[in-house]
Chain A
Amino acid sequence: MTAAPTVKTGVPTTAGVFTRASSGLVRQVRTDDVMFYGWQQIALGYIIFIVAAWQFYPGASMELATLIATVAGLFIAGCYGLLSMVYPRSGGDYVFMSRILHPVAGIALSMSLVFWQLFYTGVNGAFLSKFGIAPMLSSLGVQEHSAALIGAGNWFAGKWGLFLGGVLVVGFFSFVQYRGAGVYFKVQRWASYVTAFSLIVTFITLALAATGVLDFHHNFDAAAGAGAYDGVIAAAADTEHPFSLSQTVFFAAWPAFSLWFAVLSVSFGGEVKDGQRSQLRGMTLAIVTMGGAMMLLMFLYRMAFGSSFMLASTEVTPDKFPLNAAPYVNLYTGIAGGNPILTVVNSLWVLLLLFFVGASSMIVATRSMLAWSLDGMAPKWFSSVSAKFHTPTWALALSAAIAFVWVCLYAFTSSILVLGGFLGQCIPFMGVCLAAIVFPFRRKREFESSPVAYRVGKVPVISVIGVVALICVVFVFYRLLIDAAYGANNHLSEVMTVAVTVFAVTWYLAFRIYRARQGADIKGQFSEIPVE
């Protein structure tokens, strides 16, 4: 059953089905709730470094690449959304994969997801410093001709600034989750309104700059010296490239890194089993709306700042860039606005989205650890909760420790780059796609009685969606392996991607033996009872 205020309301039902007064009958989660959660996971603020990576793909269309990533994301969301309709209360992809593929696949792929989610819990804090705070301070410094503000911006983009951002995010979210996240959620809701307002202001600012009402070229020259804008373009190599479809497709992995994570709402559920389509709809809407917002921002950035300037500014070496700041688009948005208050307002959505996505990553990790423990695949202390706050103390502590290690590695070494975790995160995506493909064949009875028992001819729709999604994920995985521009194929990322998977399988086998010695067998725990 579930909790509700003591207000007598009608029992939820669905057309064509009768219900009675009985506990646990709740309505589906709202589509917009799933969508908002998806927005949180997508973290549009990542667009700052996505756009900065454009220079590595000559001839690529950012907008078309984002459209491709959006369409591919819809197929991945299809796999997650449809499987969540089959297992509406099961707790997400860990359970899909355990049941449809094998328990060892469930734990291995879930561990991989958790490990890399924790990577991004810490690293998002560093992103907050690097792509949020630093450009905002630099922009203010340029406008106010303040070397101190510019220096502060550069400090936040440096090692200790990254470390501080990471520690702030890991520490803050560990604390609020330990104390119970009720207050945090209220604060976060208000923050989402601020985010929306800030984003709208940014769209308006960019639209004014794109239409010439605000003159970015003039403002940049005013800040960096006469002719600075043209000087940047001249200092770069050729920035005029003919359109390239292949480079566009290759670039699509960057927006995919952001858009595809809308699927993490998969663990929401309810008991009125009418297909739970709000999951599918919510994920779809999240990906489409944020994909649209990303494309619009990219278009406005290009129109406002000039494509050649954007490419040139990220291509030239720092000594040829006339400002003592990193060439990110939020720096340029501030310069285009020409007003310190507007700069702060325009920065808020980036700051807030990068700040709060860290919390979501940590929640995904701690919930998964609880699920492993309850399934006997992890020590009991993984699921032990604080007597005072009823929060998973040890799971949180372990999550924070892993995230902290990643923060240190990101801040003080060059062994991790921005997309370093995407390689590892593709593995659970592939697992879910595979589960979607084989589900109608491996779990025939469940498929036939499920809300997703649709076919095109004789072919199950979920399998078709799974095949397309798997092709997309495998392609991105392959590109991440061979293309150094993503930074995902650095030695540490590759080693950790393999190591986490091997560790997870070893963990499963070790725990199975350990539990068997206690008189409980993990395999036996999951083996289906034969029905006679």
Chain B
Amino acid sequence: MSETTGPYVRFCQTIHPLPLEAPDVRMYFCTDIHGSERCWKKFLATPKHYECDTIVVGGDITGKFIVPVIETKRGKYKARFAGIERKVSSGSQLENLLAMIGDAGEYAWLTTPDEFESYAGDQDRIDDLFRTLILKRVERWIDMAEDRLGGTGVRVLISGANDDYFDVDDMLSRSSVIEDPNGTVIDLDGGFQMMGMGYGNITPWACPRDVSEEDLGRRIDEVMAKATDPGKTIMSLHVPPYASGLDYAPKLDEDLRAVVTSGGPQMVPVGSTATRDAIATYEPMLGLHGHIHESRGVRELAGVPIGNPGSEYSEGILGGLLIDLDTRHGLVNTSLVRG
């Protein structure tokens, strides 16, 4: 635990005349930050802000957009960002623009008009560019984590998920601070464990880790075979259980556009049946999920609490779930937070 009391606990202490009994483990879980620099910096600040000893990103750490910043004349740049064409000069203006793009989870790419034209329409080259920019940012993020949290005792658990290239896992594995629960079981303090599963069911976007429900179920079973006691295990399954209330997303038409009814966008369950079966079968202490940004919440499935903190990464808002674990009582509290 951090020695500096954060606003979260400070306020609680004004209400409680006696000091709050500290949980054995206070975990902060967030997910789907999708390359947002601002969300990452906030994530690294969560141990201090929320007084957590374990912080977790449940996958989808990489972004989806590249914003070409084109040098039109010497020292003059233009880019289309957030729907507005921005024209800036080199120096502080350019730096500000690059920072804004990074904070929104997008990758700024400094280029020339000719180079930009040579990429436009060539998805293979664009994908290569994505891979380069993504890995560069992940590498820098790992360095930041080591600088800020190395030697503090805070445990940092980060895994890739369906939108992340497999190369990201390799890079995470090289870190001395970060542990990756993806596809394995990690021991937590207090005798608890966490398993991770970044694979997801099939989406319309053909993502790197989309697999069939059968395959996903088999992979979960393989990992859970390593868990000592499912009742003291947190299952971090990126895709939420089907029809659990944490998996409602707008129904899309064939053009990937939300179907709007007289009641607004038609929301339908899009979670995984394999995940649902796994929660019901293993009855873990807690299910942690992400993937469906719109479906933030904490609910119960087969008597198991399950949570999805949602995501508003592009606005730089970090949604999270605070989890308090007690050796004697197991899971004692969950709270959705937005920082």
Q: Which residues of A contact B163 (CB under 8 A)?
A: 22-23
Q: Determine the distance from Cα of A268 to Cα of B9 in the docked complex, in whole angstroms.
A: 35
Q: Which of A189, A374, A446, A524 contacts B261 (CB 8 A)?
A: A189
Contact A34 to B250, CB < 8 A, known contacts A90-B312, A275-B84, A451-B84: no
Evaluate contact between B333 and A268: CB separation under 8 angstroms.
no
Contact A23 to B264, CB < 8 A, known contacts A9-B254, A18-B66, A524-B11: no
Interface assignment of A375: CB less than 8 Å from any CB of chain B: yes
Nearest chain A CB to B226 CB, angstrom units = 28
Evaluate contact between B68 and A18: CB separation under 8 angstroms.
yes
Evaluate contact between B257 and A29: CB separation under 8 angstroms.
yes
Interface assignment of A494: CB less than 8 Å from any CB of chain B: no
Within 8 A of A (CB), among B76-102: 79-85, 96, 100
Q: Which residues of A contact B80 (CB under 8 A)?
A: 14-17
Per-residue contact bits, chain B 241-266, to A (CB 8 Å; 1 contact, 0 not): 00101001111111111101111111
Chain B: CB-nearest residue to A6: B204
Nearest chain A CB to B233 CB, angstrom units = 23
Interface assignment of A526: CB less than 8 Å from any CB of chain B: yes
Q: Which residues of B contact A15 (CB under 8 A)?
A: 80
Nearest chain A CB to B268 CB, angstrom units = 5
Of the stretches B125-133, B176-184, B189-197, B273-281, the one at the interface is B125-133
Most-contacted residue by chain B among A270, A529, A532 (CB, 10 A): A529
Contact A523 to B11, CB < 8 A, known contacts A17-B66, A37-B262: yes
Evaluate contact between B260 and A268: CB separation under 8 angstroms.
yes
Interface assignment of A485: CB less than 8 Å from any CB of chain B: no
Interface assignment of B207: CB less than 8 Å from any CB of chain A: yes
Interface assignment of B203: CB less than 8 Å from any CB of chain A: yes
Nearest chain A CB to B246 CB, angstrom units = 11
Within 8 A of A (CB), among B298-339: 298-299, 312, 314-316, 318, 322, 324, 333, 335-339
Of the stretches B152-160, B217-225, B286-294, the one at the interface is B286-294
Q: Determine the distance from Cα of A276 to Cα of B83 in the docked complex, in whole angstroms.
A: 8
Evaluate contact between A525 and B338: CB separation under 8 angstroms.
yes
Per-residue contact bits, chain A 162-187, to B (CB 8 Å; 1 contact, 0 not): 00000000000000000001100100
Q: Which residues of A contact B109 (CB under 8 A)?
A: 18
Interface assignment of B236: CB less than 8 Å from any CB of chain A: no
Q: How many Cβ-Cβ contacts under 8 Å join chain A to chain B?
A: 270
Evaluate contact between A9 and B204: CB separation under 8 angstroms.
yes
Most-contacted residue by chain A among B8, B96, B202 (CB, 10 A): B8
Per-residue contact bits, chain B 34-60, to A (CB 8 Å; 1 contact, 0 not): 000010011011100110000000001
Contact A275 to B82, CB < 8 A, known contacts A22-B207, A529-B46: yes
Evaluate contact between B256 and A27: CB separation under 8 angstroms.
yes
Within 8 A of B (CB), among A102-145: none
Q: Determine the distance from Cα of A171 to Cα of B130 in the docked complex, in whole angstroms.
A: 53
Within 8 A of B (CB), among A424-469: 445-446, 448-451, 453-454
Contact A449 to B312, CB < 8 A, known contacts A4-B204, A16-B79, A527-B8: no
Nearest chain A CB to B124 CB, angstrom units = 11
Interface assignment of A237: CB less than 8 Å from any CB of chain B: no
Q: Determine the distance from Cα of A451 to Cα of B83 in the docked complex, in whole angstroms.
A: 5
Q: Determine the distance from Cα of A385 to Cα of B41 in the docked complex, in whole angstroms.
A: 35
Q: Which residues of A contact B249 (CB under 8 A)?
A: 1-3
Nearest chain A CB to B162 CB, angstrom units = 6
Interface assignment of B145: CB less than 8 Å from any CB of chain A: no
Within 8 A of A (CB), among B11-34: 11-12, 14-16, 20
Most-contacted residue by chain A among B84, B100, B263, B270 (CB, 10 A): B263
Evaluate contact between B257 and A26: CB separation under 8 angstroms.
yes
Most-contacted residue by chain A among B11, B44, B64, B66 (CB, 10 A): B64
Evaluate contact between B262 and A529: CB separation under 8 angstroms.
no
Q: Determine the distance from Cα of A263 to Cα of B68 in the docked complex, in whole angstroms.
A: 34
Q: Which of B64, B82, B119, B297 contacts A20 (CB 8 A)?
A: B64
Q: Determine the distance from Cα of A273 to Cα of B65 in the docked complex, in whole angstroms.
A: 10
Evaluate contact between B83 and A519: CB separation under 8 angstroms.
no
Per-residue contact bits, chain A 24-35, to B (CB 8 Å; 1 contact, 0 not): 111111100110
- What would be 22 A-B contacts, judged by CB atoms less than 8 Å apart? A2-B251, A6-B204, A11-B205, A18-B119, A26-B258, A27-B255, A36-B260, A37-B264, A89-B312, A185-B262, A265-B264, A273-B104, A273-B314, A375-B336, A449-B104, A516-B11, A520-B335, A521-B8, A524-B7, A524-B11, A526-B338, A531-B45
* Interface contacts beyond A20-B126, A36-B262, A268-B264: sample of 7 additional A-B pairs, CB < 8 Å, sorted by A: A6-B204, A18-B65, A25-B256, A30-B260, A265-B264, A517-B15, A532-B45
Residues of B within 8 A of A (CB): 6-9, 11-12, 14-16, 20, 38, 41-42, 44-46, 49-50, 60, 64-68, 79-85, 96, 100, 103-104, 106, 109, 119, 126-127, 129-130, 148, 162-163, 200, 202-208, 243, 245, 248-258, 260-266, 268-270, 291-294, 296-299, 312, 314-316, 318, 322, 324, 333, 335-339
**Pairs A-B, 5 closest by C-beta atoms:** A275-B83, A16-B80, A524-B8, A4-B252, A529-B339
